[in-house]
Chains A and B, each alone.
Chain A
């Protein structure tokens, strides 16, 4: 127990002296880095605009209410597109993520040296690029539209789903796999009878979880032209039609709440 002795009295301390000093040094370095970064940020900021912010915010609030309800007629189709982008993108990602995950998991990969690094690289590069950037890329290549959105969501989700899935595969109970292979089962049979039933709940959970995230992300893909309600948002922002913007935000809010409710229900049913 770390104890500090001072003038013959022993007082309890939480950490040893060395650890305490290391902690202080860590705080000092961390604070220095933060202050330096803050200085850079402050240098690039026009503080006159920031001090003006409250009047800007008030102005915006006035211009956003009331939402232009009649605009809703034109929003049903983009909302349907948004849901399609999220759902079809998730499906596409799952189809690709399953083989990638089996290649990436240590206990099922065909080759730890050759196949596993490739699968891990696919996962990392898909995960580190935001779906909006995927969309930006795909819009320049295949043109604006819903397809670019579906592909963007799909590419972004492969890494996420494959990562969670391969972690689930690595955590399976090996004794079940051993029992199945002891019956003389072939490789694919071991997979379907020994491994798949164990990861099925995780798989369903991951699919629903990602779908929920994708609904959120697909609402903004239209900002770069990849279809969905974001296209209307971008157009309304460009034409400073703030009453339409507020209606679109309400529509997004509603969609997100519904998707969260659906995914909570499905997850509840699985677990």
Chain B
């Protein structure tokens, strides 16, 4: 037996060699082309370096005091916008989610509910907010509506998917006892989807708070307006304070929701 040296190579992620190289080539051409058409105004970027320094320096220490009234009222507005829009959004999602589950709803209802979900998922919150501001006037009500609608798109879709994935044996067992439709929903469907749904509504609360910080940019109320003003006036110390508060609140929310999720699951 001749002693040929054979080395082993791990199999590549994409097995087809031709496809692999073609993908690399396409990606390379795209990146070159994309970077080529980026049109960066380097002069302006270099001008921004000292301003970036100032912005970073503004975090040590941030200035909570100078505009505390505006920050406090903006944050409070964000918080109660988050609470109301999450509650209303989730409450409206339940009938729509039930309707969008294929194993529960007849076809016409299913299609109607699915199209509501698709519609509210397509556009980002901020575009919804622009339209609600135009229709309902400036202020937190427009932001509240935008966040509620976005919540429906998110929550109803996941609820419907969860119902479609449920264990049919339990549902059949409850139905066999002669339960009415509502009893069946309450004792067979709800216990199966409840733990995940509680977790998801906490998660959505978290998302809505983050989004409530941006609907203010287009006049939808909340902390976003204060933040936008701070940036416009180059008051980086105030902006830094607001950003730190947002990060802090999101961290608290995330921690709280992880505890609640661990409890219900």
Contact = CB atoms under 8 A, between A and B. Distances in A.
A224 B84 contact: no
A60 interface: yes
Contacts of B247: 124-125, 128-129
Given A129-B246, A129-B247, A136-B231, A200 B123 contact: no
Interface residues of B, number: 61
Interface in B11-33: 13, 30-31
A123 B63 CA distance: 24
Contacts of B40: 145-147
Interface in B182-234: 187, 210-211, 213-214, 217-218, 221, 224, 227-228, 231, 234
A220 B13 contact: no
Nearest to A130: B214
Nearest to B30: A87
A218 B151 CA distance: 20
A129 B239 CA distance: 12
B137 A50 contact: yes
Q: Is the interface of A mostly helix, strand, loop or mixed?
A: helix
Q: Is the interface of B mostly helix, strand, loop or mixed?
A: helix
Interface string A22-43: 0000000000011011101100
B243 interface: yes
B126 interface: yes
Contact of A256 (B10, B38, B76, B122): B122
A206 to B, nearest CB: 14
Interface stretch (B45-53, B93-101, B103-111, B159-167): B45-53
Interface in B116-150: 122-124, 126-127, 130-131, 134-137, 139-141, 144
A249 interface: yes
A1 interface: no
27 contacts: A34-B84, A36-B80, A44-B139, A45-B140, A50-B137, A53-B136, A57-B135, A60-B134, A88-B34, A88-B35, A124-B247, A124-B250, A128-B210, A137-B231, A137-B239, A140-B51, A140-B55, A140-B231, A141-B48, A141-B51, A141-B55, A142-B45, A143-B45, A143-B47, A143-B48, A193-B10, A216-B124
